[in-house]
Amino acid sequence: MKRLLCLWVNNLPENSIDALKAIAAWCKHFSPLVGIDPALFPQSVLLDITNVVHLFGSEERLLEKVADELRIQGWQLRLAAASTPGAAWALAKHGVKEVVRGRWPVGSTQYPVTSNKTSPLSPSPLSSLPITALRLPEPIVVLLHSLGVGRIDQLEALPRRELTSRFGPELLDCLDRVTGKLPEPLPAWNPPPRFQARWSAEFPTTRRETIEAALEYLVRRLAAMLTQADRGAMRLECLLTCLEGEPLQVVVGLFRPTAWANHLVQLLQVRFESLQLPAPVESICLEAVATVPLELRQRELFGEEQPRGEVHHLPGLIDRLSTRLGHTSVMRVRLIPDAQPELACHYVPLVERGMRPVIKLASKSPLGAHLPHIPRPLRLLHQPVRLPNGIEGSFSYAGQQHRVARHWGPERIETGWWRGRTVARDYYRIETTAGRRYWVFRRLPTGPCFLHGMFD
């Protein structure tokens, strides 16, 4: 015999599936099978308590315990147990008059517990509920109300055969699902798995070797968990609790998800090389805070579980570089269609702070589109350097006199007034008598000259 418990949450924040999930995850203490479905069973969490009641003594004791503990967390609940999910929900939503706030009176008969022995026609707690408890479509509810049918027992009194012809098959289906004539599954939900491993020292230590060995052990455990779930870590968080002071946190972001222990060990070691330990370490907690499903790939039959193919070497390199140098130091390039040379190119970190995996270095865009038509220097100065004597015939830069042999240009670059400071420049490429090439500009209309880059 099936028994289902429904928790109807009265003070649920609007559209908050997360709060519902949190309650559901917590309810895993009581039942291995927990269900949520905001569309079918709004504002509620369902528990299959079929074979767990004896663990708590009685059904009433179980309900009391659930209600008590969730009330401490600040939730206002109505609870009901019944033999179908629909009936449990109907009773929880409509059966209990007042929202449970205070302590539930022990042993009171207020629990609207239906036994499965009650037949639909005999007076059951369901009979006196309004028809909206059946989760009927809106038009049918309106029609039934206009006919003066407001409660379930009134509906059940009507001849079944004629209900279908008048209201369509949906009405009877809804009714039968609640009474158990038609099966209705529990929308089971499982919390996402947490990948976490802990190690605590018997004696707090500052020895690097011990800590590194512990770390490697943790990574191997974590990697085994990840491999089993076929997920790859995108972000690792390692928390070191020391004897004194704040715990140290080390975060490692990855370019491509992986569950390969050796690679993760390498990345963590790179970070630990530069880590100062303020006090002996008591315990280490390693968690993969962001994971994504791993793509399927062929593994080696023997030996190391190392990804095959040379393609995987680049993500490894990017991970190592980003971990040691910082994620803003390893970047790809995005060209921007902007006339101002300084703004025509953006750097984008390859390992993003967000937890989205960056699979490709960059999207394939039509290359010619944003490419300037006129040569650009390979070296662009951070700040243009003013050339005091102009560029007529010769100019001096960094203590050296350069004589201009040729020049190409001007290439006029002007930006719109809407961008704040207007930029208006005439760019020239200059070749000196020695054959060196420079990029200079004159600020318009007849302003000073600046050196902006070198064609190195």
453 contributes a contact to other proteins by CB under 8 A: yes
- Distance (Å) of CA 41 to CA 90, 98, 134, 159, 214: 9, 20, 11, 28, 46
- Contact pick of 117, 161, 373, 421 for other proteins (by CB under 8 A): 373
Query: On the CB side of 305, how many CA atoms lie within 13 Å of its CA?
Result: 13
Give CA–CA dist 1/145, Å, rounded: 34
For the window 404-443, what string marks contact with other proteins as x by the rule CB under 8 A? -xx-x----------------------xxxxxxxx-----
Give CA–CA dist 23/7, Å, rounded: 10
Least distance to other proteins, CB of residue 397, Å: 7
- Contact pick of 345, 355, 413, 424 for other proteins (by CB under 8 A): 345
- Contact pick of 379, 386, 412, 419 for other proteins (by CB under 8 A): 379
Total residues in contact with other proteins, by rule CB under 8 A: 64
Stretch that binds other proteins, among 33-41, 94-102, 175-183, 326-334 (CB under 8 A): 326-334
Least distance to other proteins, CB of residue 208, Å: 19
311 contributes a contact to other proteins by CB under 8 A: yes
- Judged by beta carbon, residue 130 or residue 410, the one nearer other proteins is 410
- Distance (Å) of CA 147 to CA 158, 172, 194: 12, 17, 53
Identify residues 130-159 at the interface with other proteins (CB under 8 A).
none
Nearest to 384 by CA among 432, 443, 434: 443
Number of neighbouring beta carbons within 10 Å of residue 12 = 19
Give the torsion through C-alpha atoms of 232, 237, 242, 245, to 10 deg: 180
DSSP for 9-77 reads ETTPPTT-HHHHHHHHHHHTTT-S-EE--TTTSTTEEEEE-TTTGGGGSSHHHHHHHHHHHHHHTT--E
Is the four-CA dihedral 224, 227, 229, 235 of positive or negative sign? positive
Q: Are 241 and 250 in contact (CB under 8 A)?
A: no
- Contact pick of 330, 351, 391, 423 for other proteins (by CB under 8 A): 330
Least distance to other proteins, CB of residue 174, Å: 56
For the window 91-110, what string marks contact with other proteins as x by the rule CB under 8 A? --------------------
Least distance to other proteins, CB of residue 314, Å: 4
Query: Contact residues for other proteins (CB under 8 A)?
Result: 310-314, 316-318, 320-321, 324-326, 329-335, 341, 344-345, 347, 350, 360-365, 367-368, 371-382, 397-400, 405-406, 408, 431-438, 453-456
